Structure 1
Amino acid sequence: MTRLNVCCALITLSSAHGPLLLAAKKACGQSNGLLYEFPGGKLEAGEDARDAIVREIREELGCAIRPLCPLAPVLHREKDRTIRLIPFLCELEKGRLPIPLEHESLGFFSSRSLPSLPWAPADLPILKEWLDRNAR
């Protein structure tokens, strides 16, 4: 069974009503098409997860981020592979806002609206951890 190490970014924006979290909607025809996910991607051979998430977000969203701290990794088993998802809480660097270079759409969502989005299964435990940390 193949094991993939994948990093993802939980990019937040401050608002008067609490933090907003970026969710990216996968394009139709992709794995988990039309489901929401936290953007990111596979680590390259010998690459540190923190370096990988900065690179992946630059490639996928065309913007720069600063990883603040990692969250608990998640193991997600599929039929022929296991994915170790390594999430990072991140903030946007000053400059460009994210744009959907590889996704159908992007949005910043409140903690109230996030649970109603259709999420990729691997991202659900990460979403739960973020919501638990930001419960009001």
Structure 2
Amino acid sequence: MKKNIYVVGAVLLNEDKILAAKRAEGRTLGGMWEFPGGKVEKGETPQAALKRELAEEFSDQITVGPQAAKTAVYEYKFGIIHLTVYYARLLTRNFKLIAHSRIRWVSQTELTSLEWAPADWPIIWELEHTDLKQVKFYD
């Protein structure tokens, strides 16, 4: 039986653009685009995991907002990914890329032009039809 892996991602907003991160070659799913984030560790809330992952992968601090889309579940060879994404805003902009080869700010209409990791697609389709101006942060 495959293991369940719980992962969080950040839908980082900058006006009407969303940050996409390209996984570094040589890594699992290398060369594919994703929302920055990572695995939720035991005893950690998804929001805490997201803050920790962005600090580790980008050396950046974020504010986490509401969940951005329904949790996507996708079965890879290595396990079953349960991906939950949250809207987030950057408090810093260091972008020291550890797990990614590049980042890019994309508009909603550009989202489907990138080669996303398979688990991300249901979220991409949902985000395409979301009014980003309605996203509220309570910080």
Matched residue, 1:8: 9
Q: Which amino acid aligns with 1:89?
A: Y
> Is 1:57 paired with 2:54?
yes
Residue number in structure 1 paired with 2:33: 36
Query: Residue in 2 aligned with 1:82?
Result: 80
Deviations 1:5-34 (A, max 9, x none): 1111110101xxxx1000000111111111
Counterpart code for 1:132: H
What's the TM-score, normalizing by structure 2?
0.87
CA drift of 1:80 comes to 4.4
In structure 2, runs of 5+ residues without a counterpart are 133-139
Give 1:105 shift: 0.4
Q: What percentage of residue pairs aligned between the two structures are identical?
A: 32
Instruction: Tell me whether 5-14 or 79-88 shows the greater mean CA deviation.
Output: 79-88
Cα distance, 1:2 vs structure 2: 0.4
TM (norm. structure 1) is: 0.89
Distance 1:52 1:109 in 2: 24
User: Which of 70, 73, 94 is the aligned partner of 2:71?
Assistant: 73
Match of 1:21 among 2, 18, 27: 18
Distance in 1, matches of 2:70 and 2:95, equals 24
Question: CA offset at residue 112 of structure 1?
Answer: 2.2
Residues 37 and 120 in structure 1, CA contact (< 8 A), matched pair in contact too: yes
CA distance in 1, matches of 2:77, 2:28: 13
CA contact (8 A) 2:109 2:128 kept: no
Question: Which whole-Å deviations, capped at 9, do the CAs of 1:56-106 have from their partners, x for residues lacking one?
Answer: 01111111111110131111112342111111111112x334332220001
Q: Report deviation, 1:129.
A: 1.3
Supply the AA of the counterpart residue of 2:87: L
The answer for unaligned runs of 5 or more in structure 1 is: none
Please give the alpha-carbon distance, in whole angstroms, between the structure 2 residues aligned to 1:69 and 1:50. 10
Decide whether the 8 Å contact of 2:64 with 2:88 is kept in 1. yes
Q: How many residues align?
A: 130
**Structure 1 vs Structure 2 CA RMSD:** 1.5
Mapped to 1, the partners of 2:112 and 2:41 lie a distance apart of 31
